[in-house]
Amino acid sequence: MTLDKLAIGKSGTITAVGGEGALRLRLLDMGIIPRTRVSVIKRAPLGDPIEIQIRGYELTIRLDDASKIEVVPDTDAV
């Protein structure tokens, strides 16, 4: 699953960061690296961009960039 598909209020763990060249380096520089927990906080009214929480701070990224980030959603234990 990619980060753009993760529902609001849900969290998961990043497994891979895609993209090429400068885009991938920019994502990695922002702390979006494998084995990091990420939560989707909210979406803009038209759906793009999304706001995520990662490493204790909030970050807004475009859906196109979020679609290059692979995540494993957390399972909700009941």
Three-class secondary structure assignment of 4-34: HHCCCCCEEEEEEECCCHHHHHHHHHCCCCC
Question: What secondary structure letter does DSSP report for 65?
Answer: H
Task: Sheet containing 50-54: give its strands across.
Answer: 57-61, 50-54, 37-43, 11-17, 69-73
Helix (H) or strand (E) holding 37: strand 37-43
Q: Which fold has domain 3-73?
A: SH3 type barrels. (2.30.30)
Tens digit of each residue's pLDDT (9 = 90 or more) over 10-68:
999 999 999 888 989 998 998 899 999 999 999 999 888 999 999 999 999 999 999 99
What pTM was estimated for this model as a whole? 0.83
8 pLDDT above the threshold of 80: yes
pLDDT of residue 78: 47
- β-partners of residue 60 are 51
pLDDT at 76: 61
